[in-house]
Structure formats: structure tokens, C-alpha cells
């Protein structure tokens, strides 16, 4: 498979052989960025530097996303039994370090 020059420029990357891909994969497996590197990556995409900053989804795109999420069987769309809800409530009661609490409400 030899791509044309236009196709190569369109991808803006060079073609990497399967052997090289395997070598790169083996070299990078098990490696994780340290705290400093993670902080730098985080800062690069905050505010105006984020690729979607100031952009809005079209109504057509929002409709497509809505359609794809309908019938979602993940936890987002599950109906929980009253017993299950009570177990979760009991487990979270008194714990101020849970999702949904904010620093300005002092954990309430």
C-alpha cells in the first residue's frame, strides 16, 4: 500500500511499519507520566487553550448525541430499587468527601 503524496500530507504523519509499532508499544508499556508531567498536560488544555474553548455544538450534533444516548444501559440510565438507594444513602451518610458536595457548602 503506497499512499499518494496528497494522502500523506493529509494525514500529516509518516507511515510506521507494524514492526516499529510493536517496538514502540513494548517500550511504552507500563510507563506513566509523573505528577509534574500530568500537571503540565492539564495546564495545556485549560481555558482558552482548550481545543473546544468558545465553540458550540450545532443542534444537529446535539440531536445525534441525544439519539446515541437513548436506551443507554450504563449506570446513568439505570433505575435503582429503593433498597439499593437506601444502602447507598446509609453508606454516604456522614461522609463529607463524596461527589456532589462542594467546598463552599462545607460538605453539606
Give mean pLDDT, residues 10-35.
Answer: 85
CB 52 within 8 A of CB 61: no
* pLDDT tens profile 26-69: 998 888 889 999 999 999 999 999 888 999 999 999 999 888 88
Identify which has the larger pLDDT, 47 or 108. Answer: 47
Q: Give the integer Cα–Cα distance in Å for 37 and 55.
A: 27
Give mean pLDDT, residues 61-78.
Answer: 80
pLDDT value of residue 38: 92
pLDDT value of residue 63: 95
- pLDDT of residue 98 exceeding 60, the answer is no
- pLDDT of residue 10 exceeding 80, the answer is no
Geometric angle at alpha carbon 16, from 14 and 21, rounded to 5°: 145
Amino acid at each position: 500500500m503506497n499512499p499518494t503524496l496528497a494522502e500523506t500530507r493529509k494525514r500529516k504523519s509518516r507511515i510506521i511499519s507494524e514492526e516499529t509499532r510493536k517496538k514502540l508499544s513494548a517500550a511504552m508499556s507500563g510507563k506513566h507520566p509523573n505528577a509534574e508531567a500530568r500537571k503540565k498536560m492539564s495546564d495545556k488544555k485549560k481555558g482558552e487553550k482548550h481545543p473546544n474553548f468558545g465553540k458550540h455544538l450545532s443542534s444537529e450534533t446535539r440531536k445525534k448525541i441525544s439519539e446515541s444516548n437513548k436506551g443507554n444501559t450504563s449506570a446513568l440510565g439505570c433505575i435503582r430499587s429503593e433498597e439499593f438507594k437506601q444502602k447507598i444513602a446509609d453508606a454516604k451518610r456522614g461522609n463529607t468527601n463524596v461527589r456532589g458536595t462542594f467546598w463552599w457548602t462545607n460538605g453539606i
